[in-house]
Structure 1
Amino acid sequence: MIDKLEFFIALAKQQHFGRAAEECGVTQPTLSAGIKQLEEALGVMLVQRGSRFQGLTPEGSRVLEWARRIVGDARTMREEMRAARHGLAGHVRIAAIPTALAMTPRLTTPFREKHPGVTFSILSRTSIEVLTLLENFEIDVGISYLDNEPLGRVATVPLYSERYQLITAAGNPFSDSETVTWAEVAALPLCLLTPDMQNRRIINQHLGEAGAEAHPTLESNSMIVLFSHIRTGKWSSIMPLNLAETFGFAEPIRAIPIVEPDASHLVGLVAAHREPHTPLVSALLHQARILAADLSLL
């Protein structure tokens, strides 16, 4: 039954029988037969069929919720028994919003010192993608905003608050100011994250509250690209203070607090809302709480 539920989860994610079969490492006829057997066992149609995948039935949508819960519990059980035999080891998959990537070493480094048998993959993703990846078991935890857009049913550990700065070169407008307003920042040639990023939506929101609008001359989903353009002295940007400090801006680059409003947004670790969590995820949540306590003292 578990393998058939995994087939169904893959099909719901890929929305294509061939791609779902490839993800599961089986042939398309094997996957299709497994879905059909699952329907027969449950006595309901799960998939709207035609010449191609046409979506889930209402019953299929409900079964998908159960399938994720059951498969998640089965994986947790297997990992817990493996940890009991061999100790905490394995591979941890993390997806983080771009503005939080620079702080991930503060989580992963002490964690691996405690558990040297653990390896990591860290991906840069939008906040929406983080939640989707969690839902589909493609990552173990995410790092994302906690208080700006709906998160759904997830476990969270608040880590720190983002506060926003104008990052600009000496000699540019406002570079010698102690503070700058959101309305003033809007008039500068800005390089910003792309609109699919929640950080950009937050920036647009605060600019709108100030009666202004962002008209960036450059957009990218990479913080490295933004930093590189700021260093030319021809572009300015809006970034969280903790991120700017991590990259070690020095003269002639200035970081000017943005006020009216002096905005902040909470960033933290997110994990699937499931008890018990896998041993690796439980240990990561514990390490995140230690990190949150350390950050609160800064």
Structure 2
Amino acid sequence: MIDKLEFFIALARERHFGRAAEECGVTQPTLSAGIKQLEDQLGVMLVQRGSRFQGLTPEGSRVLEWARRIVGDSRTMREEMRAARHGLAGHVRIAAIPTALAMTPRLTTPFREKHPNVTFSILSRTSIEVLTLLENFEIDVGITYLENEPLGRVAAVPLYSERYQLITAAGNTYSERETVTWKEVAALPLCLLTSDMQNRRIINHHLQEAGVEAHPTLESNSMIVLFSHIRTGKWSSIMPLNLAETFGFAEPIRSIPIVEPDAHHTVGLVAAHREPHTPLVSALLHEAKVLADALDGFR
């Protein structure tokens, strides 16, 4: 039954029989037959059918919750037995919000030193995408904001707090200031992350608190694009302090704290709310706690 549940999860995610079959590595008739057999076994219709996929039935939505739980437990069991035989090994899939990407080596590097048979994939995603990928078993852990928007049922380890800085070139407005206010920052030619990013929604919120709005002259979902434009001296940006420190800005780029308010938001590691976790995820959660303690020592 596990393979049929995996077919069903893939169909719910892709919402297309052909794409779901391709993802599962089977033909479309094989996938369709597997889901029909699952319906026969359970005695309910799971999928609204027509000439194409039209969605899940109410029973299908409930079965999807069970399918994720059962498939997750099955994968955990297999990985735990493999770890018992061969030690911790495998591939870890991480999705992180763009502002946290520069922090990932602080987690992955010591982890791989302890477990040299582990490899990694790291993706840049929005906070909403991180949670969706986690729910659909497409990643093992995510790095995202913990307290600004709802997370749902996840296991979370707080890592650090984002505090916000004006990043600008020497000679620009406010570049010689010790601090700058959110209201003052709004008048500058800004390059910011796109509005689908939670970091941008946070920035918009603090600007609105100051009675102003952001009108960026450039938007991107890439931090590299933002940094590149800042270095021209023609744009400024609002970025977390930890990100600016990681990139090691030197002259002629200045990093100036933004106050009124002195805002901060917690970023952490999240994993699906499941006990037990796979050995790899359990080890990553432990490594995240070690990293959090180390980062706290620098505050």
TM range (shorter): over 0.9
CA distance in 1, matches of 2:116, 2:147: 33
Per the TM alignment, residue 28 of structure 1 is displaced from its structure 2 partner at its CA by: 0.4
Which residue is equivalent to 1:244?
A: 244
Which residue is equivalent to 1:270?
A: 270
Is structure 2 residue 131 aligned with structure 1 residue 131?
Answer: yes
Per-residue displacement from partner, 1:148-167 (whole Å, max 9, x unpaired)? Answer: 00000000000000000000
Q: Which of structure 1's runs of 4+ aligned residues deviate more than 4 A?
A: none
* Residue aligned with 1:104, SS: helix
Per-residue displacement from partner, 1:241-298 (whole Å, max 9, x unpaired)? Answer: 0000100100111111001111000000000000000000000000000000000010
CA distance in 2, matches of 1:36, 1:174: 65
Per-residue displacement from partner, 1:217-260 (whole Å, max 9, x unpaired)? Answer: 00000000000000110000000000001001001111110011
Per the TM alignment, residue 208 of structure 1 is displaced from its structure 2 partner at its CA by: 0.6
Alignment of 1:220-235 (within 5 A): 220-235=220-235
Alignment of 1:1-298 (within 5 A): 1-298=1-298
Q: With structure 2 as the length reference, what TM-score do the two structures score?
A: 0.99
What root-mean-square deviation, in Å, do the aligned CA atoms of Structure 1 and Structure 2 show? 0.4
* Residue aligned with 1:192, SS: strand
Between the two proteins, the alignment pairs up a number of residues equal to 298
Kindly provide the amino acid, as one letter, of the partner of residue 233 in structure 1. G
CA distance in 2, matches of 1:286, 1:276: 14
* Residue aligned with 2:271, SS: strand
* Residue aligned with 1:55, SS: strand
* Residue aligned with 2:265, SS: strand
CA distance in 2, matches of 1:261, 1:42: 55
Gap runs ≥5 in structure 1 = none
Kindly provide the amino acid, as one letter, of the partner of residue 285 in structure 1. L
CA distance in 1, matches of 2:27, 2:96: 33
Per the TM alignment, residue 207 of structure 1 is displaced from its structure 2 partner at its CA by: 0.4
CA distance in 1, matches of 2:9, 2:18: 14
CA distance in 2, matches of 1:273, 1:190: 38
CA distance in 2, matches of 1:13, 1:189: 40
Per the TM alignment, residue 92 of structure 1 is displaced from its structure 2 partner at its CA by: 0.4
Identity of aligned residues (%): 90
Q: With structure 1 as the length reference, what TM-score do the two structures score?
A: 1.00
CA distance in 2, matches of 1:271, 1:84: 22
Per-residue displacement from partner, 1:34-70 (whole Å, max 9, x unpaired)? Answer: 1101011111110011110000001100000000000
* Residue aligned with 2:157, SS: strand
Gap runs ≥5 in structure 2 = none
Per-residue displacement from partner, 1:200-222 (whole Å, max 9, x unpaired)? Answer: 00000100111100000000000
CA distance in 1, matches of 2:100, 2:259: 22
